Chain A
C-alpha cells in the first residue's frame, strides 16, 4: 500500500518516464529479435501517393508492409531526396551540403510503381490524378503529400536564381534548395568578414519549419560575434506578424534572448519588394505604408501556400483560415479529407493549425497509414493526431533548445526531463547528429 501511494504521488510525466525505463530491457530484447509481422490486410485497392518527400515515402513504406495485394503508385518527378531539416546547418556553415542530398530510389519499397512526373491536377470526383505530362492515374485511395509552394513571386523583384551570385550580393534564402543553402553560407561568410546591416524577414503565411528564420538570425549573430564584426553590424528582424513564433512562451523567450543579443525586431512589416542590385528591401505595413530598408545581407523567407495542383482543386479548403493558402481540407485529428473519405493528407500540405515539420511527419505517418488501412478494410479512421511538432531551435553554434508542442501550442517534451526553454548541448547534439538518423528511420517506415 505504501509503495502504491508513493508511485501514485509521482507526477504523471515522471511516472511515464519511470515506466519507460522499466520497460527498456524488454524492448531491447524485442528489437534484437525480429518482431512477428502483423498480418497484412488483403486488398486489390489502387493507392496513389502524390509526392515523394518524407511523408510520401514514409507512408509508401508502411503501406507496402501493411497491405497484401494493393497496387501502390507514387507520383513525383523529383529524383533527389533532400534532408530539408539540415538546410539551416548547411546555410550556417555547420554541415557540408552533401549531408542533405540523397536519392529517392534508395528508399522506395519494392513493388511500388514510381511515375516520374509532377502532379498537375486532382480530380477527386473522378478519383483521378492528372500529371503534368497528361497522364491520368485512377485511384481508389489517395495520399496527398506534395508539400508547399514557396511563393517568392509575391515579392516583387525577387530572383531565387540570383541567390549566391554577383548579381545579388548579400541576397540569401535557406528554403529553396541545398544549393541555395550553400550559397547562403557563402554570402554569410562574406558579410560577417566585414559586418554591416543585416535584414531578416518573416512572412505572414503558414511556414514549413517556422523555426528556420529564427535559427538563421541566432546563427548570423553568432557568426558575426566569432568573426569580431558584431560591433560594426546591425541585425534587424522584420516580422509580417505580431510575433516571431506561434507558441507564445517560445515567442517571449526568443524575444527576450534577442533583446539581450541586440537583435532588433519590428512587427507587422511584410517584405513586398526587393531591389537585388541596389540592395534595398521594401516593407509594407497593414495600412499600406511603405518603408525602404538598405541592406548588406538579407535573409528572405518566402510566403508559402499549397501548390496549384491542390489549391485549384476541390481538395482545398473552401472557407476558413486555410482557404486563402489553398491548403488540403483534412480533419486535423484523423488527417482524412473532410469531404472525400478516400483521401488522406500528410506533411506540409495539410490545412491544420500547426506543424509543417519533419517531426510532424514522424508522428503522423504511422497514423495516416493506420487510418488508411482501416478505411480500406471498411472501418472508420480511428486514430487521432494531436498535432505534435518539434523545433530544435539553434541559439548559437553548439547550443540549441528542443521545443516540442501540439495543435494547442502546449509544450509537449517527449522526455519529461527536457526543459524546452533551456538551450544547451543535448538539444544541439540532437540537431547536429541524431535527427537525421531519426529522419531516415521515419523515411523507411520504421518509427
Chain B
C-alpha cells in the first residue's frame, strides 16, 4: 500500500518538473481530439491500424533509447525486474504516442478521402 502511494507521489513530483510541457501536450491533445470528433463520419476504426503501428514504433524506440537517456545501457538489464520496468516505461511511451496518433490518424484519413 505504502509503496503504491510512494510511486504515485514520485510520478507526481516528476510531472511537476515538466508541467509546462505536459500542459502544452494536454492542450494539443484536447484540440486534436476535438477536431477529430467534430469531423462528420470520422473513421476511427480505419485509423486504428496506423495509430497502433505508430504506438508500437514509439514503444520500441523508447525501449531502446530510455536506458541511454538515463545514462545506462541495455547491457545493464540484469534480471526480469529490469526488463519489466523498462518494458513498462516503453509501454507508457507507446500509449502516449497512441493518444496522439489515433485522432491524428482520423484527421489524416479524412484529409486523404476528401482530397
Binding site for B on A (CB under 8 A): 20, 23-24, 27-28, 31, 94, 397-399, 414-415, 417-419, 422-426, 428-429, 432-434, 436-438, 440-441, 446-447
Q: How far is the CB of A218 from chain B (nearest CB, A)?
A: 14
Q: Could you write out 10 A-B pairs with CB less than 8 Å apart?
A: A23-B1, A27-B5, A28-B8, A424-B82, A425-B67, A425-B72, A425-B85, A432-B71, A437-B9, A438-B9
Label chain B's interface by main secondary structure. helix
Residues of chain B from 1 to 50 with CB closer than 8 A to chain A in the complex: 1-6, 8-14, 17
Checking A425, A436, A447 against B76 with a beta-carbon cut-off of 8 angstroms, the contacting residue is A425
**With a CB–CB cut-off of 8 A, which chain A residues contact B12?**
437, 441
Assess whether B4 is in contact with A23, with CB atoms less than 8 Å apart. Answer: yes
CA distance A429 to B81 in the complex (A): 12
A-B contact count (CB 8 A): 89
Q: How far is the CB of A164 from chain B (nearest CB, A)?
A: 23
- Given A23-B1, A425-B77, verify A437-B71 contact (CB < 8 Å): no
Assess whether B82 is in contact with A425, with CB atoms less than 8 Å apart. Answer: yes
Q: How far is the CB of A93 from chain B (nearest CB, A)?
A: 10
CA distance A399 to B82 in the complex (A): 10
Q: How far is the CB of A22 from chain B (nearest CB, A)?
A: 11
Assess whether B6 is in contact with A428, with CB atoms less than 8 Å apart. Answer: no
- Given A20-B4, A398-B73, verify A429-B85 contact (CB < 8 Å): yes
**With a CB–CB cut-off of 8 A, which chain A residues contact B73?**
398
CA distance A418 to B81 in the complex (A): 7
**With a CB–CB cut-off of 8 A, which chain B residues contact A441?**
6, 9-10, 12-13
CA distance A354 to B82 in the complex (A): 29
Checking A426, A433, A446 against B82 with a beta-carbon cut-off of 8 angstroms, the contacting residue is A426
Q: Any chain A CB within 8 A of the CB of B78?
A: yes
CA distance A244 to B70 in the complex (A): 29
- Given A424-B81, A428-B70, A432-B70, verify A31-B13 contact (CB < 8 Å): no
**With a CB–CB cut-off of 8 A, which chain B residues contact A20?**
1, 3-4
14 more contacts with CB within 8 A, not counting A417-B81, A422-B79, A425-B76, are A20-B3, A27-B5, A28-B8, A398-B71, A424-B82, A425-B77, A425-B85, A425-B86, A426-B81, A437-B11, A438-B13, A441-B6, A446-B9, A447-B6
**C-beta contact mask, B73-115 vs A, less than 8 Å → 1, else 0?**
1011111111001100000000000000000000000000000
CA distance A289 to B70 in the complex (A): 46
Checking A417, A424, A437 against B10 with a beta-carbon cut-off of 8 angstroms, the contacting residue is A437
**With a CB–CB cut-off of 8 A, which chain A residues contact B8?**
27-28, 31
Checking B2, B10, B72, B79 against A434 with a beta-carbon cut-off of 8 angstroms, the contacting residue is B10
Q: Which of B5, B9, B70, B77 has the most CB of A within 10 A?
A: B9
CA distance A50 to B86 in the complex (A): 42
- Given A398-B72, A432-B70, A432-B71, verify A24-B4 contact (CB < 8 Å): yes
CA distance A20 to B4 in the complex (A): 8
Q: How far is the CB of A29 from chain B (nearest CB, A)?
A: 11
**With a CB–CB cut-off of 8 A, which chain A residues contact B3?**
20, 414-415
CA distance A425 to B11 in the complex (A): 18
Q: Which of B3, B10, B79, B80 has the most CB of A within 10 A?
A: B10
Checking A23, A94, A397, A438 against B6 with a beta-carbon cut-off of 8 angstroms, the contacting residue is A438
- Given A27-B8, A425-B85, verify A437-B13 contact (CB < 8 Å): yes
Checking B17, B76, B80 against A428 with a beta-carbon cut-off of 8 angstroms, the contacting residue is B76
